[in-house]
């Protein structure tokens, strides 16, 4: 294991982002905060740094525990980062998912004007 990592590489290697370029784009856009401050993708991480970002309606936080040499499998992720997200944030996520409007379209051809209005309102038919 190396002593430090770029933040975009670390986010990708611990599976918080699907690709390194998506991780770099999020960091560049100011969506990722390192110890409460926005950073550039080339910023070097240290052990015990705190990373936070918005994930839908919640804010997730992680502590850097180590640096993998390459992308790791899902069972090994907890060796390199510690989830600091409070349980209340996960409750917010559950509530938000309960209140999402369901989408049901039966696929019986082109929707009528009335059907389209129902779809736009989020009510299935």
- Domain containing residue 26: 7-85
Residue 118 lies in a domain: no
Extract the runs of DSSP E, i.e. beta strands, from 41-121. 50-55, 58-64, 81-83
Whole-prediction pTM: 0.73
The answer to whether residue 30 sits within a structural domain is yes
pLDDT in tens, 1-38: 557 789 999 999 999 999 999 999 999 999 999 999 99
Does residue 100 sit within a domain? Answer: no
Q: Is residue 33 part of a domain?
A: yes
> In 3D, which of 84, 63, 80 has the Cα closest to residue 71?
80
pLDDT digits (tens, 9 = 90+) for 83-96: 999 999 989 888 88
Residue 24 belongs to some domain of the structure = yes
Region class of 112: left (phi > 0), else alpha (psi between -120 and 50), else beta = beta
Q: How many domains does the chain have?
A: 1
- Hunting for tokens 């039966």 — which residue is that? 106
Looking at residue 38, which CATH number applies to its domain?
Answer: 3.10.290.10
């Amino acid at each position: 294991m190396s002593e430090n990592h770029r933040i975009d590489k670390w986010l990708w290697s611990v599976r918080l982002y699907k690709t390194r370029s998506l991780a770099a784009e999020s960091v560049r856009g100011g969506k990722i905060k390192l110890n409460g401050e926005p950073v550039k993708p080339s910023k070097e991480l240290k052990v015990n740094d705190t990373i936070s970002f918005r994930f839908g309606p919640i804010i997730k936080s992680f502590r850097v525990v180590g640096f993998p040499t390459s992308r790791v499998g899902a069972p090994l992720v907890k060796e390199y980062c510690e989830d600091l997200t409070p349980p209340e944030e996960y409750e917010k996520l559950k509530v938000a998912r309960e209140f999402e409007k369901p989408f049901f379209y039966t696929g019986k051809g082109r929707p009528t004007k009335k059907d389209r209005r129902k779809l736009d309102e989020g009510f299935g038919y």
